[in-house]
Structure 1
């Protein structure tokens, strides 16, 4: 890793280095917080967790080839060099900030209330047609995951596509300081994290902190159809570039043809050119993701042919509108997270099925004082759709159930928890069903998906 010697790392994180001179000048090859991931010449960062103290693995990681450890407590009889710091997580952040400054690489930062991960996948797929891309993996989009992702960048990477998620004010400011994005992509402003951010205006303010450390010649790419994002007219002299369905946007889509659960096609209008796009993932929101990826691709000098090919290469992720087709049934696995906007989009997707339609909907978390009303809103929304069976799961979903009971025309069921539901699944689902499973991640409805797959 470029310029990443122990002496420089200790300086970057304000730590005290204790080591043998034989290690002086050697560059590390990786940084991890999980002792199981340690490889030769890695640095292991020891943290004190709720259940596990990483300091207990210090000697073990040296046996696995670690070049050094960063720790808050001096180890007894250490088998190798260590850097003593006051706070290991702050040290991680500071090391990532310093390392990012050494890199000659473009960074695309992505945030928004809904669709960050799928937008990241579209952008990465498009850019990969021309560049060597590093992208955020899994849920590494927070103040621990983002710096660890930054520290995975190597000389052969041309572009990093980073998902940036928050739940409170100030977090995005700190993430922006680490990532220093060249291109900022904002998907939408919905109702996530109202518990901490209060209102959509608060969410917009918190998400806009992504601009705080944007490069001076950076680009801002926005969903121009979002009423809150449309209020951003300029930031530090940078005028946003917009995408959406409206023709007032810099790029927009027409001739949209949906193919049920198999995706859609559309014409993308960009700079007096027409791109015919084949979008392999279903749902109107996926078209918006493709538009965002198109704008990023254009910004980074890609051909329209490569952009179109990249869009077609996108693959679904588990838990995010992932269509699982079985001989007996089709499952829409969308249980990684949920909020009112994504819940409605998932319900709309289910309506495209040409079979009996079953919606299993669970609690949406972090909605603050409006949680009751927002669950009731979903109850009214699903009642207006052609859904055959609605199954509500969880404490908050009881509000959804109560509202749906006023007008829902199909079979309506309620379960307090997923365990009760799983017991009843064989009797309430039928062969040939298309089943949507949607809730916030904390509901653990991936276990319902697993049960359906048996």
Structure 2
């Protein structure tokens, strides 16, 4: 985009304060952490329940950003940049996007629904791209912020748009409709997603239909509930599997791994073969077919293109690579907008200072190749990419746009020379259009491990973090626990994400955990909660901050501090208020004060305690007693030592149950990982960890045969048994065997037969449509770690933390 600040000021009805009224901006931004912000960026300082971007304006000015949309000008930024002052910065962003959308007059498809929006968008892009230069929402940018950012990416070369809109409550769609202003509407389906934001299903349907207030046509799955709420003047084009009165009636039958759909419209009908059998994919295909029919594509073209549809990977995956590399797998998409998103993800998850980009030719940019690759070159410089590997005939022509670049004509050419490129100790972003088959590159560079993986959803971690932030006072700091390898989920990767979210502290149990994070480049302050005196020297060397919980430990640390001539080294004083595990008790406070008074070797950075029963309502009075005692003892310390440290006592359950005990900081633990001790709170958390494996072998056994060690399962009838390559050495409790527990295969429960072995377990797949190589969910959405914990008489913490290090962790972002 190219819009003058003068024009922006008028559009937003803003007050301009600055010196460059006639400047031209070519990009908008909302993330202060992005390396892509520049002196031609207009930065919108959004204010949310958990964050206020006004706090980062000074930092952005130092980095060269000069134009800001704000609700107020921070005191220390007066006169240092140009400001457009408005009442609401999110509304201003939406107003600018709405204005910008009005400048373009080509067809735009607007997609909403409970599920399938992103899939339908990507498939429509695929089937329509031979005829059009398409702008579409990158990834799943469908929110109140994502939609305007998507629309602002339109340029003069685009002649077709596809945007998705997601809402979670009433009055949201009225803000998105003028931004998208679709000419063609597509409603995918109405499911249970975000039910909590609406009084009933009718209210949800009515809100979603507002996206189509100015559409020429609505394409939707016919139903009485939807029909009753569509405004009479809106032209519709409906489809159904069940209702013959729909405009298009669809019937289906399976053939091998494919499905044949019969499409009947008025007096005409034709068949299409699609490479899917699941209900959701079939519905999404039908939505695409109706768009093609509405646009008057002939039957043969529809048949050919729909037959080529493919599973859409919507996730950016972080994987371990060869030679201490880490890989970001975005191997099915190469467009300019998603490249910008992937580069931001690379920066937030880089595991070494060396960053490599493997990039294919970019399609559907709406730019000339000269302009496109010049802009890509600017992105690469801004993101400090160490080297570029281009693959494709077009990008090879623009090799001179990139520093330290080597190019190949084809993916096969690259793979054949991969050993000569010496990948080692670097973070590699692999981003390619689907036709380049970059999955071959991922396979070649990925560290080879067995087929069991623990997938960690970084979006869910961010969601859960923000959920708990919403319960905190704006001034309350947050420490997040990443001990025990991030509760089994992965230490560094999660720490890096938390650093990206600018939490205040990380907490680990032992020094070696903190040293590992510091060596990996984590800059956040890290508290060691259970330091051994033998680790004090290493703690000092690596700038960790120890918790001190005894006079003996304090004197030992002070002795080393004196030897090393330290001055005000940060320590944290632990008080025992009733947990009776570690900490100074009330009768030792006087000696603690005497020991610390006047000592300049250390500084008390925080005072803390630990609650024993914050999750148990029956012990509420005990918890309140702990909070009161902590307040008394910490106040005494502060008064006697004349200090103002951070005070903290609340853990995850305490954040919810005892808001009066927030003090200066809280410590978030298991809640970050999607587990709550309270059923009501659990509804608001997202699942973070999914343990997956595959079926190694399937066999059929007759009645009377047994399965596994000790013949603990005896078949009473002919039984199909699948073997899964995961066992107690991977962290699966033997208590979960013998038909107590189950795994999920193709959305069906398969009970575990006999004893769990060291490296394998066997399950009953009788009546389940499955094959060797199919994916197995060991835990995640079903079964949950909470369910497993209940049935094996333990707690979710243990289920997560005992997953073996030999199980590969794969981190991804939707």
Taking structure 2 as the reference length, the TM-score comes to: 0.41
Alpha carbons 2:785, 2:799 under 8 Å: kept: no
CA shift, 1:186, in A, is 1.1
Q: Distance in 1 between matches of 2:199 and 2:277?
A: 32
Query: What is the rounded CA distance, in whole Å, between the counterparts of 1:228 and 1:414 in structure 2?
Result: 45
Which residue pairs with 1:237 in the alignment? 233
Cα drift, residue 177 of structure 1:
2.9
| Contact 1:393–1:416 (Cα < 8 Å) also in 2 | no
Q: How does 1:400-415 map to 2 (within 5 A)?
A: none
Displacement of 1:104 in angstroms is 1.6
Cα offsets for 1:305-336 (capped at 9, x unmatched):
5444543244422469x999999659898978
Is the contact between residue 452 and residue 694 of structure 2 (CA under 8 Å) also seen in structure 1?
no
Supply the distance in 1 between the matched residues of 2:255 and 2:811 (Cα, whole angstroms): 28
Aligned twin of 2:182: 181
Give me the whole-angstrom Cα distance separating, in 2, the residues matched to 1:309 and 1:58. 52
**Alignment partner of 1:386 out of 733, 748, 768:** 768
In structure 1, distance between residues paired with 2:456 and 2:303: 26
- Please give the residue correspondences for 1:350-429 in structure 2 after superposition, counting only pairs within 5 Å: 356=722, 382=748, 386=768, 417=796, 420-421=799-800, 423-424=802-803
Give the conservation status (yes or no) of the 8 Å contact 1:133–1:157. yes
Retained in 2: the 8 A contact 1:392–1:415?
A: no
Distance 1:300 1:120 in 2: 16
**Partner Cα separation in structure 2 for residue 42 and residue 188 of structure 1:** 38
Q: Does 1:257 align with 2:258?
A: no
Decide whether aligned partners of structure 1 residues 61 and 194 sit closer, same or farther in structure 2, where only a CA change above 3 A counts: same
Extract unaligned runs of 5+ from structure 2: 317-331, 333-438, 461-692, 699-721, 725-743, 751-766, 771-775
Alignment partners' CA distance in 2, 1:395 and 1:182: 40
Deviations 1:262-294 (A, max 9, x none): x54534445665565453455122121111112
Q: Deviations over 1:20-62 (max 9, x none)?
A: 35x52x5421111113132452211122456654234435545
Q: Does 1:146 align with 2:141?
A: no
C-alpha separation in 2, matches of 1:145 and 1:223: 26
- 1:32 maps to which of 26, 29, 33: 29
- Give the Cα separation in 2 of the matches to 1:181 and 1:419: 50
SS in structure 2 opposite 1:69?
strand
Q: Secondary structure at the match of 1:291?
A: helix
1:191 aligns with 2:208: no
How many residue pairs were aligned? 383
The within-5 A match list for 1:6-405 is 6-20=5-19, 23-24=21-22, 26-35=23-32, 36=34, 37-39=36-38, 41-49=40-48, 52-58=51-57, 61=60, 66=65, 68-75=67-74, 76-212=77-213, 214-215=214-215, 218-224=216-222, 226=223, 228-232=225-229, 234-246=230-242, 247-257=244-254, 259-260=256-257, 264-269=259-264, 277-311=272-306, 312-318=308-314, 329=451, 356=722, 382=748, 386=768
Please state whether the residue corresponding to 2:7 is helix, strand or coil: helix
Q: Once the 2 structures are TM-superposed, how far is the Cα of residue 8 of structure 1 from its aligned partner?
A: 1.8
Distance in 2, matches of 1:353 and 1:163, equals: 39
Cα–Cα, structure 1 residues 357 and 87, in superposed 2: closer, same or farther, change >3 Å?
farther
Is the partner of 1:235 in helix, strand or coil? coil
Provide closer, same or farther for how the CA distance between residues 353 and 8 of structure 1 changes in structure 2, counting only shifts above 3 A: farther
Shift in Å at residue 221 of structure 1? 0.6
Q: CA RMSD in A?
A: 4.5
CA distance in 2, matches of 1:327, 1:272: 55
Other structure's SS at 2:293 match: helix
- For residue 110 of structure 1, give the secondary structure of its aligned residue in structure 2: strand
Shift of residue 354 of structure 1? Answer: 8.9
Asked whether the 8 Å contact 2:785–2:796 carries over to 1, the reply is no
8 Å CA contact retained: 1:110, 1:185: yes
Could you tell me whether the CA contact under 8 Å between 1:46 and 1:53 is conserved in 2?
Answer: yes
Q: What is the TM-score with the length of structure 1 in the denominator?
A: 0.68
Give 3-state SS (helix, strand or coil) of 2:802's partner.
helix
Distance (Å, rounded) in 1 between the aligned partners of 2:304 and 2:801: 41
Q: 1:401 to 1:105 in 2, by over 3 A?
A: farther
Shift in Å, 1:241: 0.6
2:102 alignment partner, SS class? helix
- CA 1:305–1:333: 2 relative to 1, 3 Å: farther
Q: Tell me the distance in 2 between the aligned counterparts of 1:185 and 1:48.
A: 32
Equivalent residue for 1:371? none
- How far residue 89 of structure 1 moved from its aligned partner, in angstroms, is 1.0
- CA change 1:230–1:177 in 2 (3 A) is same
Tell me how far 1:205 sits from its aligned partner: 2.3
Query: Aligned partners of 2:780 and 2:798: how far apart in 1?
Result: 10
- Give the Cα separation in 1 of the matches to 2:811 and 2:769: 22
- Residue 126 of structure 2 aligns to a residue in which SS? helix
